[in-house]
Structure 1
Amino acid sequence: MDSQDLQVLAAVRRWRAEGHRAALVTVAQTWGSAPRPAGAWMALRDDGRVQGSVSGGCIEDDMIARMLDGRIGGSQPFVLTYGVTREEANRFGLPCGGTLELVVEPAPDHALLTDLAARLEGGQLVRREVELASGQVRIFDACRGEALQWDGQRLSTIHGPHWRLLIIGAGQISRYLAQMAQALDYAVTICDPREEYSVEWDVPGAPLVAGMPDDVVMAMAPDPHSAIVALTHDPKLDDMALLEALKSPAFYVGALGSRVNNAARKARLLEYFDLSEGEVGRLHGPVGLHIGSRTPPEIAVSILAEMTAVKNGVSVARPEPANPASAGCGVR
C-alpha cells in the first residue's frame, strides 16, 4: 500500500505521460485549527482533477477554479493564503478561524519528481527544497528527526519513512499491519526465525531479516521514532524481543495476547529478566485499541490506531471487558 506522497507522485507522473499539465501544492504552514497538517500534498491537473488533499474540500474547489480559469500557470512557484479573515475562513470551511499557507508549483520538474519517487520507493528518507525567488528545486538525503521548514521564501519538506516498525512474527496479522503501516510512512521490517512462516513472507518493501528476535531488536538500535510489536504469540520468541525493546527508547512496544496472558507475561518479565517495573509498564498489552476486532485486518487496524495515538501524545483509556477471563487473544 503506497504512502500518500507516492500516490500524489504517481498521479503527476501519469498525467504528464498522458500530455496533461499538473501543479503541485504543499501546505507550508497552518495557524489555528487546520484540516491538514503542514507538509500535506495535493496534485492538481489542468482539467481540475486532483490527487491528495490540502483541506476538507472547499479550498480544493477554489484551487480547481483557479486552475481552470488560468490563474495557476507559468513556472514560478508562489504562495496562496486562505482563512486570513473570519469571512474567508467561513467561506472555505476552515474551523475556528484556521489559516493555511500553501506553496503552489505550477510546473514541477518531471525528472526531479521521477527521481524523488524512485528514492521513496526504495525506502529512502528525502528532503525536498523549493526556492520561491529562483524557482529552483533540489532534493537531498534526509535524516530521521528532520522537520519541515518554511521561512516565507524557502520550503523544505521531508518525504519517506519518518518512522520505523519492527514486527516479530510473519503471520497473517503481520501482513495487514505491515501494509497499513507503510501507508503511514513507516519503514517496516519483519523478524521470524520460524521457517514455516518466514518462507511465505512476500510483502513488498517490508523485508524479513534473519536472526533471533532479541538480536534483531539490538541490531535495529531503536530510537524514539521506532515501534516494536510482537505478534508470534509464542513466549519463547515474543519475550526475547520484549526484553530488549522495553529497555530501548522506542516510542511504542506491544505484544499480542489476552489480558490474562499479558498479565502473566509482565510477571514473567519482572521475575526472570533484568527489567524494572517502569520498563515493563511501557508494554502495550493486549496490543491495540479495544474496538471489538476479531479478524486479522481488524486487529491490525486496532494496533496501528494505538500506535498513532501514542505517537501523537493522545491518551486512550482501556475499558475492562464484561468477562476478562473470556477475552480472546485476538479480540481487541
Structure 2
Amino acid sequence: MKSIEQIVLGAALEILAKGDSGWLCTVVKTFGASPRPLGSLLFMDAQGQVFGSLSGGCIEDELLEKLQRGALASDRPEIYEYGVSPEENERFGLPCGGRMQILVEPMSASIDFCNMLTNLSDAIGSRRAMRRRVNLITGQWQLETVISAEPLAIVDETLVQDFGPRYRLLLIGANELARCISEIALAMDYRVIVCDPREDRREQWTVVGAELSAFMPDEAVSEFADPYTAVITLTHDPRIDDMALMQALIEPLFYVGALGSVRTSAKRRERLKQLDISDEQIDRLYAPVGLAIGSKSAMEIALAIMAQLTQLRSSSMKVVRGG
C-alpha cells in the first residue's frame, strides 16, 4: 500500500510525463488548529483533477476557483494564507483561530521536474529519507539524501521539506486488540504487519489492509527493523512475546512496546535480564504499553497505544514509560 506522499507525487509524475502541467500544493505553515498537518501535499492538474488533500474540501475548492480564473501561481511559487479572519475560518471550514499557509508551485512538463519526482518517489519507496529544497523566488528544486527526516521549515526564501519513510507497525499476535490497533493505524497511514506463528490465529484474521506474516517473531522483527518501525507484542504468551522482544530491543526501532499489567511487565523485564538483555536495552521497552488514560476495552487500549506513538512522533520530548 502506497503512502499519500507516494500517491500525490506519482500522480504529478504521470501527468507531467504526458506533457501536461500542474501545481504542487503544500501546507507550509499552520497557526492554531488546522485540518491537515504541516507538509500535507496536493497536486492539481490544468483540468482541475485533484490528488491529495489540504483541508478536506474548502481550500481545494478555492484553489480550483483560482485555476478557473487564471489566478493561480503561474511563473513562480506563491504562498496563500487562509483563515486570517473569523469569516474565512467559517468559509474554509477551519477550526476557530486556525490559519494555514499553502505553497503553490507551478510545475511544467520538464525533464528536470520528472527526474526530481522520480528520485523522490524512489527514495520514499525504498525507505530512504530525502530532503527537497525549493527556492521560493525561482521555484528551482534541489534533492539530497538525509539520515532522518526533520520538520518542514522555510529558511531564507527556501522551503526545506523532508520526506521520511512511511511508518510501519509490526504487531505480534493476531487477536482482537491487534484488530483494533490495525484499524486505527491503517487510518493513520501506517503500514501494518501482523505476525503470528499460530496458523489458526492467522486463519481468523479479517482486517483488510493489514499484512499477515507467518514468520517466527524474531525473524519478523529482523525482517522489518529500521528507525521507522514500531514493534508491539500482544499475545500474553512469553514464548512468543519474549522471542520478539529479545530481537526488538537490540534493533534500531522507533518504538518497542509490550502489552501487560505493571506486575506482568516487571516479570517480563526480569526474564529479559536473565536472557542477557542489558538494562539499557530493557529501558527502551514501553510496558505497560500506551498512554495511561484508564483504558479497559480493546479499542480504548488501541487508542492509548496509537496516542503514545503519535506523541512520540510529534515531540522531541522524552515520554515517560509506563510501569
Q: TM-score, normalised by structure 2?
A: 0.70
In the alignment, which of 112, 115, 124 is matched to residue 111 of structure 1?
115
Residue matched to 2:87? 87
State the distance in 1 between where 2:304 and 2:172 align.
17
Residue matched to 1:51? 51
Per-residue CA deviations over 1:120-139 (Å, capped at 9, x if unaligned) read 22222211111111221122
Match of 1:157, SS state, is strand
Q: Which amino acid aligns with 2:289?
A: H
1:241 aligns with 2:244: yes
Residue matched to 2:33? 33
Match of 2:265, SS state, is helix
Residue matched to 1:155? 159
Residue matched to 1:254? 258
Q: 1:250 to 1:21 in 2, by over 3 A?
A: closer
Residue matched to 1:77? 77
State the distance in 2 between where 1:117 and 1:183 align.
21
Q: 1:58 to 1:227 in 2, by over 3 A?
A: same
Q: Which amino acid aligns with 2:114?
A: H
Q: 1:183 to 1:143 in 2, by over 3 A?
A: farther
1:24 aligns with 2:24: yes
Alignment: residue pair count: 297
Q: Which amino acid aligns with 1:40?
A: S
Per-residue CA deviations over 1:59-112 (Å, capped at 9, x if unaligned) read 111101011221125342121111223333333222222211111111162231
Q: 1:197 to 1:88 in 2, by over 3 A?
A: closer
Match of 1:143, SS state, is coil
Residue matched to 1:308? 306
Q: How far is 1:58 from its partner?
A: 1.4
Contact preservation (8 Å) 1:167, 1:188 = yes
Q: 1:29 to 1:279 in 2, by over 3 A?
A: closer
Match of 1:96, SS state, is coil
Q: How far is 1:252 from its partner?
A: 4.8
State the distance in 1 between where 2:106 and 2:284 align.
51
Per-residue CA deviations over 1:189-226 (Å, capped at 9, x if unaligned) read 7877889999xxxx99x89898872x986998876x65
Q: 1:63 to 1:240 in 2, by over 3 A?
A: same
Contact preservation (8 Å) 1:161, 1:185 = no
Q: Which amino acid aligns with 1:81?
A: E
Residue matched to 1:3? 3
Q: 1:247 to 1:265 in 2, by over 3 A?
A: farther
Q: Which amino acid aligns with 2:288?
A: L
Contact preservation (8 Å) 2:124, 2:166 = no
Q: How far is 1:20 from its partner?
A: 3.9
Per-residue CA deviations over 1:33-82 (Å, capped at 9, x if unaligned) read 21111100011122222111111321111101011221125342121111
Contact preservation (8 Å) 2:148, 2:164 = no
State the distance in 2 between where 1:176 and 1:140 align.
38
Q: TM-score, normalised by structure 1?
A: 0.68
State the distance in 2 between where 1:137 and 1:290 align.
47
Q: Which amino acid aligns with 1:128?
A: R
Identity of aligned residues (%): 33
State the distance in 1 between where 2:3 and 2:157 align.
27
State the distance in 2 between where 1:273 and 1:290 align.
26
Residue matched to 1:283? 288
Q: Give the unaligned 5+ runs of structure 1.
A: 256-260, 294-298, 315-332
State the distance in 2 between where 1:193 and 1:254 align.
17
Higher mean alpha-carbon deviation, 246-255 vs 15-24, is at 246-255
Q: Which amino acid aligns with 1:312?
A: T
Q: 1:273 to 1:16 in 2, by over 3 A?
A: closer
Q: 1:103 to 1:189 in 2, by over 3 A?
A: same
Q: Which amino acid aligns with 2:39?
A: G
Contact preservation (8 Å) 1:31, 1:98 = yes
Q: 1:212 to 1:34 in 2, by over 3 A?
A: closer
Root-mean-square deviation over aligned CA pairs: 4.6
Higher mean alpha-carbon deviation, 160-169 vs 227-236, is at 160-169
Q: How far is 1:161 from its partner?
A: 1.6
Q: How far is 1:230 from its partner?
A: 2.1
State the distance in 1 between where 2:305 and 2:158 align.
32
Q: Which amino acid aligns with 1:49?
A: Q
Residue matched to 1:230? 233
State the distance in 2 between where 1:280 and 1:208 align.
23
The 5 Å alignment of 1:166-315 reads 166-168=170-172, 213=218, 226-231=229-234, 234-242=237-245, 250-255=254-259, 265-266=264-265, 268-274=267-273, 282-284=287-289, 303=302, 305-313=303-311
Match of 1:130, SS state, is strand
